[in-house]
Amino acid sequence: MRLNLFWKLGFAFFALLIAVLLPVDFYAERALRRDYERAGFEQLAAIARIALAYPPEPAALAPSHPLDSAGLRGWVAKMAASGVRVTVIASDGQVLADSQSDPQTMENHAD
């Protein structure tokens, strides 16, 4: 069976379309992913610089009682003003302060 001109042009157009779109899609996906990762790392670096510029008081990091951590909660609230969630966890996994939840209701983060 002979293919008429319409089908020949249709197949050629489709093949050309695929040959152009696949490399463009591959390049665009990689470029967008790279830009997204770079923006995320820049945001994390900015937040880390803020946290380093305003470290919490050493006494606030080791409260004698979980309810005595007003200074630490204040620091967490100040850091959370940057738009991220901040959670301070003790070495035993106990949550000392959190910017979005009550630390007493949170589970142990040791595991």
pTM (2 d.p.): 0.54
**Which tens digits make up the pLDDT trace of 67-101?**
567 778 888 888 888 778 888 888 888 888 888 88
Name the residue ranges covered by the structural domains of the chain.
1-53, 56-111
Q: pLDDT-based confidence at 27, cuts 50/70/90?
A: very high
Find where tokens 């665009």 sit.
28
Please give the biggest Cα pair distance in the chain.
89
